[in-house]
Amino acid sequence: MTPGPLSDRTRRVLACLVKDYIDSGEPVASAALCRRAGLGVSSATIRNVLAQLEDMGYVRQPHTSAGRVPTDLGYRYYVDMLLDTRRATRDASSVEARLREQAGAAPLFDQLLSSASHVLFEFSHHVGFAIAPSEQHAIFQRIEFVPLSGSRVLVVTVARGNHVSQKVIDTGEEIPPSALSQAASYLNAEFGGMPLADVRDAVIARLEQERTLYDQLRAIALTLARTTLEGIETPASVFIDGASSLADTGDATPVSLSTLRTLLQMVEEKQRLVRLLDAYLEGPGVAVVIGAEHHDPQLRGCSLVVAAYGDGARRGAVGIIGPTRMHYSRAISVVDGAAVAVARFLRDEN
């Protein structure tokens, strides 16, 4: 059952307690809140408010002689207040500037996402990640065939947004460089501007028609394209930085060993992270998943801050994973800043 609305005084006490606990890592006493909350009320009044918050499940007392610490529900209320009152911050603009500095003036898309994961880690001191959009939604721009030794050919596919993928294929027989060049020109003219998944389907459909409809050059081009695009539904690329921060919590509240093990496995098996985000990302903006809100019980010692980015046709995500005791205000700002920067890059390249 969700507790009812809080009074302005109670909200301010809860927000002050959560901020103090995030900063110090120590249970927060009523006397400290009385000094810092700026409410002009007595310590006894603050104690009464804290008792009400404890009854409603927003805070708990680790032991009778200690102050209070926020529960996951208390963090949730605090984060919702941050999301409701959020405005542009210096952190968000600094993230975009740092990202452009790291990635360079015209980076490849994978380089940009790798830089995004590093910048998120750098600003938050938690694990930063960036997930590329699925390739099947990318817009085909051009293809190049580079002859290697014998019958091996390097295929370079460029999608809109400066997204480059490379694949070496074996054609079974040596193809002259001039024929490879003409084959690439045919494919670029025929399919440029289409989603890669549609290009793949069109190529397969044409190859299933009577081969006599096509001359040798077109047959070579379509066969090369089919071989190239066969793996288009492979999992999205995932870039992660700062995995060591999971074990090195400093003065932060450490995650449990089981949570740490699960997170490290997720870093190692990156597609688990992709599947996790699919369950949480429903629309635009920043999403925050805190502790007990995770579907996986082993993740209930950590929080996830994530935002989707896209250009209307493709969608990926950037975010941060860390302990429930994290600087949520900063985390929300830097994730939002990174998502805006990556989305702007995609739009500019289009």
**Is the CB of residue 319 less than 8 Å from the CB of residue 335?**
yes
Residue 80 confidence class, pLDDT cut points 50, 70, 90: very high
Q: What integer pLDDT is reported at residue 316 of this predicted model? A: 87
Q: Which residue has the higher pLDDT, 125 or 253?
A: 125
Q: What integer pLDDT is reported at residue 121 of this predicted model? A: 93
**What is the dotted CATH code of the domain comprising 90-133+236-349?**
3.30.450.40
**Is the CB of residue 112 less than 8 Å from the CB of residue 103?**
yes
**Is the CB of residue 114 less than 8 Å from the CB of residue 342?**
no
Strand bridging mode 302-310 / 152-159: unpaired
Does residue 224 register a pLDDT over 90? no
Give mean pLDDT, residues 295-301: 83
pTM score, two decimals? 0.74
d(CA 19, CA 38): 14
Q: Which residues of 99-130 are buried (b: 16+ CB within 10 A; e: fewer)?
A: bbebbeeebebbbbbbbbbbbbbbbbbbbbbb
Q: Which CATH number fits the domain 136-229, given the four candidates 3.30.2290.10, 3.40.640.10, 3.30.390.60, 3.40.228.10?
A: 3.30.390.60
Run of H or E including 317: strand 315-323
163-177, 218-232, 275-289 — which one is most confidently predicted on average?
163-177
Q: Extract the tokens encoding 130.
A: 């960036």
Radius of gyration of the chain (CA): 26
Domain 8-70 fold: Arc Repressor Mutant, subunit A (1.10.10)
Weakest-pLDDT range from 38-52, 159-173, 309-323: 159-173
Q: What integer pLDDT is reported at residue 105 of this predicted model? A: 62
Q: What integer pLDDT is reported at residue 141 of this predicted model? A: 86
Does residue 328 register a pLDDT over 90? yes
Spell out the residues 6+ positions from residue 139 whose beta carbon is closer than 8 angstroms to its own.
Answer: 159, 160, 161, 193, 194, 195, 196, 313, 350
Q: What integer pLDDT is reported at residue 313 of this predicted model? A: 65
pLDDT per position as a tens digit, 24-56: 889 998 888 887 766 777 888 888 999 999 999
Q: What integer pLDDT is reported at residue 338 of this predicted model? A: 92
> What residue segments make up the domains of the chain, in order of their start?
8-70, 90-133+236-349, 136-229
